[in-house]
Structure 1
């Protein structure tokens, strides 16, 4: 695109900028004369609603009206404007973008440069606690939608010059600010180079959701999330000191972290803020993930092929002599459908009707369906336990992969039994081992095995050793950039 520069004619610039905004009513133009003996025409441009007009009045308009002489644009900034963030710009495109970001523009007739001053007045949500990864003991602060606020939270927690912040703007028509953060001396350089390359290669009209960046960082389509997301500043700080790269997108109340490993979804802040759960909680979560994935499939496989594993009294009462109307596999699918419908409803409907929907679902599934012999009581118990265990990792990106894989294993168990389930689970592990997050194996430090990195995997190690030891990440090809 050809770069269009502003001219020395104020009237030409007025026309050019007005055409860029196509008669936008919120574009305000304040005309004035500056200088004492030799009057010069000037204009102040700003977008009403996103700028602080009092700031413009006190720190830009009033000083310009009191100005008696003017030598250059730089002299106006140095001698008269009492505002911190001021730059000089000559490109019409850059000026138009700056106006949409809450800056005001000062143009003076006879000069082919404009003065941009940051007077933005964005409406922000106050800092509150995170909705996910909640903790009983520890930080209660979460990110909000403003990039500057999120950077402020992180810089308050990391008071060192080793924290590096690089700024990007993504979007051809609407430019969104993105900040890339890493710790110098800690960051994995190969990961950092890959992230920068991916960010610079994003070509989109606008950036509204983080999924655009996630797709670019994941490199290929996969069931499992290869980019970790969190609303917690303390989790983000830990990731930075672990040598990972953080991306903050203006307008979103969470950050993106790479590389993302499978074990990261089973690590929660509570383990680092208290003594409880240091040795067993992650094993419990891993076991819950396996149950959430395989329990319905195992139940269906037993009812179809392996009832002989149980005593005859148990088999006749609960398995082979079932008098419900639906086959076991359809019972499981029916209850899963009801549970997901309830979950979707509670997320979408007004909060004051959540209790009503929950009661209706409880009565429909928990009492009526069992009493009418539509579903077996044991099926209700199995799917209920399965759904509860899946909620342990609901806050992470594994939720979507789990829902799909649960159905796949359910079908495998229905047609191939336990042998098919074991083979399918083995193939799933092989598939996960083939995944890479920014070149780092998804199942590390298990595959490939790294004894040094096991200090914070299955068990949470001693915090002093964790803080003082650097993390290293294996790469498939050391020369791969």
Structure 2
């Protein structure tokens, strides 16, 4: 038989083993344990598994030992029902299923003379322990974050929601290499339109392989925008809260966070602390909203004051810092220079070993904070303003909004430089109109403000009474 035409198991054990070895390029980690089983005639059999990702003790106790103890081998089905002591088993005939199963840590059992095999789950994956989330920390409440194992993440969600209403749909994404993806929702709570749209977009993903959840995000976002329309979440409790709100969560094997859709603009200003503590229910979301506004327009506004509106500040201050500034480069170049330095420090802090982060921070502080000002390369006020802008953008970084801030502050920087205050105001109006046109899974991005829905305002700019929030069902307007 030509191997290229072979798609299912044949009765010859030798041919089956030879084909599987060829498909794995005769790799040394594919182990083949040959044995014989008793029947009317002695039959040859084999156990195949990939070393390093399977539990060999489980194979020894639950597969090999029962096979060697068989007095009469009646059929594949009889062996599964009477002898095989592993919970997750399946009968297979297709080579695609066999190769995929072996790659996922399963063990294949083949018996000469049968065109069927058995895949038993004996996977033994190495995993990182469950730790506190890095970017979405909370002073009170749960300290557990997702890790890279899909089954562990689902376990965390089921531990929080002990209900049959928690529904999980498992899919595989990838043409050559299959990656497990789970769509999770609460039956009776989920918005059916959102669920159908999510399911459709994920099933239509056409990629050779899937390594990053960004591929799923791109599919769910659809039309490209400045703003993220899918929320990334490291916390199981926050993900559960979204499920109860009628949204859909997506987990990808190998990715330590969930994707939540739809994602509205106001969701980026909600933090877990607000639901675990009494303080902050009225002011923290306004603070984060002003931080976002500061992070995009502060640099442009500062530049407008420097170039066009000296009279807005006291005369002595304007004379010293604006009219007679003796720095070597123009104000817009100063701002861009400091922004680049801050961004380089951020990148360096993420890429270098943790033991050298303090050293890099000190060098950056000396170079930017002292030497540049002393050398009159940049103005001290410029350094302060860009620093405030940087802190404002970091305050709302969780969830994915930071990327849009980086682009928008450059837009408003140039609007302020060329058009002044009028340019900034017109830019804000255009920005609001643009945001109102964005859809996340068909839901308007600025809901419940545009379109206005007073019933949803109980958990918008302020955190309302928790009992009322819990007992009321969330609704989402749908516009194409």
1:239 to 232, 242, 267: 242
Q: Residue 319 of structure 1 aligns to a residue in which SS? A: helix
Residue 366 (structure 1) aligns with:
369
In terms of mean alpha carbon deviation, does 42-51 or 19-28 score higher?
19-28
Distance 2:206 2:45 in 1: 37
Residue 391 (structure 2) aligns with:
388
Q: CA deviation at 1:311?
A: 2.9
Partners of 1:3 and 1:91 within 8 A in 2: no
Residue 167 (structure 1) aligns with:
170
Q: Report 1:137-176 matches (<5 A).
A: 137-176=140-179
Distance 2:7 2:225 in 1: 43
Q: CA deviation at 1:425?
A: 1.0
Q: CA deviation at 1:308?
A: 2.1
Distance 1:377 1:22 in 2: 63
Q: Residue 433 of structure 2 aligns to a residue in which SS? A: helix
Q: Residue 171 of structure 2 aligns to a residue in which SS? A: strand
Distance 1:457 1:21 in 2: 54
Residue 292 (structure 1) aligns with:
295
Report the TM-score, using the length of structure 1 for normalisation.
0.98
Partners of 1:3 and 1:93 within 8 A in 2: no
Q: Report 1:32-111 matches (<5 A).
A: 32-35=35-38, 37-111=40-114
Residue 339 (structure 2) aligns with:
336
Distance 1:146 1:30 in 2: 29
Distance 1:408 1:21 in 2: 52
Q: CA deviation at 1:309?
A: 2.3
Q: Residue 226 of structure 1 aligns to a residue in which SS? A: coil
Partners of 1:229 and 1:256 within 8 A in 2: yes
Distance 1:2 1:164 in 2: 39
Distance 1:142 1:282 in 2: 23
Partners of 1:434 and 1:442 within 8 A in 2: yes
Residue 324 (structure 2) aligns with:
321
Q: Residue 431 of structure 1 aligns to a residue in which SS? A: helix
Partners of 1:37 and 1:68 within 8 A in 2: no
Q: CA deviation at 1:302?
A: 0.9
The reply to whether residue 417 of structure 1 matches residue 382 of structure 2 is: no
Partners of 1:226 and 1:260 within 8 A in 2: yes
Residue 23 (structure 2) aligns with:
20
2:122 to 88, 111, 119: 119
Task: Please give the per-residue CA displacement for 1:240-269, whole angstroms capped at 9, x wherever unaligned.
Answer: 000000100000100100000010000000
Distance 2:206 2:117 in 1: 29
Residue 350 (structure 2) aligns with:
347
**Residues 2 and 220 of structure 1, relative CA distance in 2, 3 Å threshold:** farther
Runs of 4+ in 1 over 6 A off after TM superposition: none
Partners of 2:171 and 2:181 within 8 A in 1: yes
In terms of mean alpha carbon deviation, does 104-113 or 32-41 score higher?
32-41
The reply to whether residue 473 of structure 1 matches residue 443 of structure 2 is: no
Q: CA deviation at 1:9?
A: 1.5
Partners of 1:242 and 1:470 within 8 A in 2: yes
Task: Please give the per-residue CA displacement for 1:360-415, whole angstroms capped at 9, x wherever unaligned.
Answer: 00011111111121111111111111111111012221111101111111011000
Partners of 2:39 and 2:74 within 8 A in 1: no
Residue 192 (structure 1) aligns with:
195
Number of aligned residue pairs: 477
The reply to whether residue 450 of structure 1 matches residue 453 of structure 2 is: yes
In terms of mean alpha carbon deviation, does 148-157 or 9-18 score higher?
9-18
Q: CA deviation at 1:168?
A: 0.3
Residue 307 (structure 1) aligns with:
310
Distance 2:429 2:251 in 1: 36
Gaps of at least 5 residues in structure 2 are none
Q: CA deviation at 1:5?
A: 1.2
Distance 2:378 2:156 in 1: 51
Q: Residue 247 of structure 1 aligns to a residue in which SS? A: strand
Q: CA deviation at 1:3?
A: 8.1
Distance 2:317 2:21 in 1: 81
Task: Please give the per-residue CA displacement for 1:94-139, whole angstroms capped at 9, x wherever unaligned.
Answer: 1000000000000111111101000001000011110111011110
Residue 128 (structure 1) aligns with:
131
Q: CA deviation at 1:473?
A: 0.3
The reply to whether residue 377 of structure 1 matches residue 387 of structure 2 is: no
Residue 205 (structure 1) aligns with:
208
Report the TM-score, using the length of structure 2 for normalisation.
0.98
Distance 1:150 1:282 in 2: 29
Distance 1:55 1:10 in 2: 23
Gaps of at least 5 residues in structure 1 are none
Q: CA deviation at 1:310?
A: 2.5
2:440 to 430, 437, 440: 437
Partners of 2:435 and 2:446 within 8 A in 1: yes
2:463 to 452, 460, 463: 460
Partners of 1:146 and 1:250 within 8 A in 2: yes
Distance 2:7 2:260 in 1: 38
Distance 1:173 1:258 in 2: 27
Distance 2:386 2:340 in 1: 11
Task: Please give the per-residue CA displacement for 1:130-170, whole angstroms capped at 9, x wherever unaligned.
Answer: 01110111100000000000000000000111110000011
